[in-house]
Structure 1
Amino acid sequence: MDFPIYLHVFGVKLHPHAIFESLGMFIGFRYYLKSRRKEKIPEAKALFIFLGAIFGAFLGAILLATLEHLLQVQKVIEENGWQGLIQGKTIVGGLLGGLIGVESVKKMVGHTESTGDDMVIPLALGIAIGRIGCFLTGIGDETVGMQTTWSVGIDFGDGMLRHPTQLYEIGYLCILMICCIWLSRHKPWEGFVFQIFMLAYLNFRFLVEWLKPTDKLYVHLSAIQWACILGVCYYVVLVMKKRKGERRHAK
């Protein structure tokens, strides 16, 4: 198997990363529009919240990617200019940045109800589809794992058998989607499913980063791992507060 694995459509050679990243965003967004509970939020507010999510995710993805590859920043700027930084993005940064964007806009428009549960399956679906593109891109995507002797090891183009961490993530997200669908029918409060999704995904990303040859520049951890820790702490506190409030309300 030779990487990258290009897609040929009507005689045109297409890069897999761009195709599946775009496809993941399109399918995830279409699924959200089709499945979201329209009575939960007016159309006008939904538009502003969506724009806040996009803007926050864009900034968060770029900022965390820059911190993750801090040693290469100067080289990237020299070769591609400042716009070269825009090419690097991270899903964890996008999720946390999008969260900040959404919560900021919700305060601005006066919307207090949780809007996250409707986003869980679209997000998981979009990320999983996008990871197919990461896998097909091979070593150039920089999401491959370290060298391994495991039977699942794959040669991504550099002659070494490596952890297919993209496939690990796709499999994990499929299981997580099934669990979240079940949780949505038994959730104790609005927003619970999204909170559990974020906790589960951030914990996974923290652990899987140990299988990647990334720079651990910050007290032996990568920038993504520190972002995961902060995100997990935030959601643990949030879930504990919600649980305490539910118990008080039940009394």
Structure 2
Amino acid sequence: MSGAGLHIVFDIAAWLAAGAAVYWLSRRGLKFPSQSFEVPYIAALVFGAGLGAYLFGSLNLWLSGQAGIARSVEGALAGGIVGIELYKWSAGISLRTGARFALPLALGIAIGRLGCYFAGLDDFTYGTPTALPWGHDFGDGISRHPVQLYESTAMAAFAVAYVLAVLNRSDFIVTNGFYLALAYYGLQRFLWEFLKPYGALIGPFTLFHLLSLFILLYAAFMLATASKARPLHERAAA
């Protein structure tokens, strides 16, 4: 199977894993805000994520001197955040609705990045050259950082930690898991960007450095202003 074909297989696996994660969480006695299941909410999320994915993915491609259209996971996250926050503002929703996305997000990225790795050079998600023993030749004779695997491993580790938190009823982590996932994602992604051959936008920083900071600061704000709401498993029992 070609690299592009493997990418599609892992994309599908990522979506299936995300759906399984939502189901698993529901079986743990957690009840998530009903607004996050409503059609307008889903529409705002899909529109924002889709627009962000192609807008920032393509913009980064152009800034790096490449032609064409591209998608970006981080762009989708940033677009989804903006889309949902604008929808909530217009609908007068003050309740935080992201809790059910923490585990699906982590699993989806962990699996999806494997597809990026197997897609090779055409995916333009590979790292810069390295002499480290785990460097990978994607087909051009150059040993590169397998940054896709770095990110996949990092997000898989978060997924495991989050599952343990759910099983142990760690209230703060479960209730604020989405923002913890975003903060963790933004931090690790910011670091990996120094190992990618993308065109700089401001000083040494690429477009995705700036998006990582946006996601990290958004998550930090949401965590810092987190209320003392009842844990999700207590809401389910009420």
Q: TM-score, normalised by structure 1?
A: 0.79
> Which residue matches 1:158?
140
Amino acid at match of 1:27: A
Q: Distance in 2 between matches of 1:219 and 1:113?
A: 38
TM-fit CA distance, 1:216: 1.1
Amino acid at match of 1:181: V
TM-fit CA distance, 1:157: 0.3
> Which residue matches 1:11?
none
Query: Contact conserved, 2:65 with 2:199, CA < 8 A, in 1?
Result: no
1:60 aligned onto 2:56: no
The range that moved more, 167-176 or 36-45, is 36-45
> Which residue matches 2:211?
227
Structure 2: gaps of 5 or more residues? 229-238
1:207 aligned onto 2:191: yes
TM-fit CA distance, 1:173: 1.1
Query: Contact conserved, 2:179 with 2:223, CA < 8 A, in 1?
Result: yes
Query: Contact conserved, 2:36 with 2:97, CA < 8 A, in 1?
Result: no
TM-fit CA distance, 1:106: 3.0
Amino acid at match of 1:234: Y
Aligned residue for 1:40, secondary structure, equals: coil
> Which residue matches 2:21?
31
Which runs of structure 2 are paired with 1:1-251 in the superposition (5 Å)? 6=2, 15-33=5-23, 35-36=25-26, 39-42=31-34, 46-71=38-63, 75-76=67-68, 85=69, 88-184=70-166, 185-188=169-172, 191-242=175-226, 246=228
TM-fit CA distance, 1:26: 3.4
Q: Distance in 2 between matches of 1:197 and 1:72?
A: 28
Q: Residue 138 and residue 45 in structure 1: after superposition, are their counterparts in 2 closer, same or farther (change >3 A)? A: closer
The alignment yields a C-alpha RMSD, in angstroms, of 2.6
Aligned residue for 1:18, secondary structure, equals: helix
Amino acid at match of 2:105: L
Query: Contact conserved, 1:115 with 1:191, CA < 8 A, in 2?
Result: no
Aligned residue for 2:38, secondary structure, equals: helix
Aligned residue for 1:69, secondary structure, equals: helix
Q: Distance in 1 between matches of 2:207 and 2:58?
A: 9
Identity %: 29
Q: Residue 119 and residue 141 in structure 1: after superposition, are their counterparts in 2 closer, same or farther (change >3 A)? A: same
Query: Contact conserved, 2:7 with 2:116, CA < 8 A, in 1?
Result: yes
Q: Distance in 2 between matches of 1:183 and 1:138?
A: 35
TM-fit CA distance, 1:39: 4.5
Amino acid at match of 1:211: L
Q: Residue 189 and residue 108 in structure 1: after superposition, are their counterparts in 2 closer, same or farther (change >3 A)? A: farther
Q: TM-score, normalised by structure 2?
A: 0.82
Q: Distance in 2 between matches of 1:178 and 1:17?
A: 23
Amino acid at match of 2:202: Y
TM-fit CA distance, 1:200: 0.5
Query: Contact conserved, 1:183 with 1:193, CA < 8 A, in 2?
Result: no
**Equivalent pairs, count:** 224
Structure 1: gaps of 5 or more residues? 8-13, 77-84, 247-251
The range that moved more, 26-35 or 164-173, is 26-35
Query: Contact conserved, 1:116 with 1:191, CA < 8 A, in 2?
Result: no
Amino acid at match of 2:49: A
Q: Residue 26 and residue 222 in structure 1: after superposition, are their counterparts in 2 closer, same or farther (change >3 A)? A: same
